[in-house]
Structure 1
Amino acid sequence: MTIQPIRYYGDPVLRSPADPVVTFDKELRVLVRDLTETMQKAGGVGLAAPQIGVGLRLFAFDVDEVVGHLVNPVLEFPDEEEQDGDEGCLSLPGIYFDTKRRMNVIAKGFNESGDPLQIVGTGLMARCLQHENDHLDGVIFIDRLEPAARKNAIREIRRAEWYDPSRTVIKVSPHTASPFGLGR
């Protein structure tokens, strides 16, 4: 297991849709462990493979002492209930904004061995599943903000200690994103 460097906002891999995982092998199991260990070391509740530079549809999570991962996830929303709360991202350290998400989600996919897996999430788990799944589509949480809040987020990013204008290009996501991941 190896702690991997986390890619920061502006890295093109964060804006690229990830490819489906097609091989469930030892390499994938090592990637799952690296993702999980990197996420936990960084103090996050979720981490998607693109955040460590790997363009595959996979993420790890650690929410309320539930640690796991999901390969090739597909989200379903059983109802219209919403939540609005503080959200941040390991790829945008120190940047937090209230972000609308669905309150309840059902995430279906596979574990590292290729066995079917379903996770039913509410509250923080639902937020995490939606946030990490967005990363797999090249969407970052600030894309979900209203225009004025998004402008404030960009301003905060430019003032962040980790921001390097010589290697970072800030642009709006090419993906159309509604607050709940619908209509894409």
Structure 2
Amino acid sequence: MINKSVIMDEAAIRRALTRIAHEIIERNKGVEDLIIVGIKTRGIYLAQRLVERIEMIENVKVPVGELDITFYRDDLQHKSEDAILQGSKLPDQITGKTVILVDDVLYTGRTVRAALDALIDNGRPRMIQLAVLVDRGHRELPIRPDFVGKNLPTARTEIVDVQLAEVDVMDIVSIRQLL
């Protein structure tokens, strides 16, 4: 039997994203030159939800992009010399813009490091800020989020599961013990 605890339900996720949207607008003094980029997979859907909330608040559509970091990860066993980044869909120009990088869970920081490499290969943003739904600690790299939905201290033996309706039928964040 797996011991699983619900950390955030649909309403808590909705409130956290609304708060993050307000914080993004406030910190950046509006949405001019702002681009929201989600890290595949669940970061994409969180980014889209943030864009919807920002549009409701500011009445401005902020460009949104998708970032596939597969070939930038440092945990791939064998990197192909002719590997091509596929699946990223970024706005035409990120150079000189403020990019809000969005992911579901921040853990060691390695996913974010890979995302930074992938972003910079596509241009030179003026600034990159990080928004995460859950920050669970245990960083291995000096990476810190700018916007956090929930800080969740965890043990390394625990798994944080983020489920989003677009992929998993329902919105829920839970934590369980690693078997």
TM-score, normalising length: structure 1: 0.25
- Higher Cα Rg, which structure: 2
Q: Which has the higher contact order (CA 8 A, sep 6+)?
A: 2
TM-score, normalising length: structure 2: 0.26
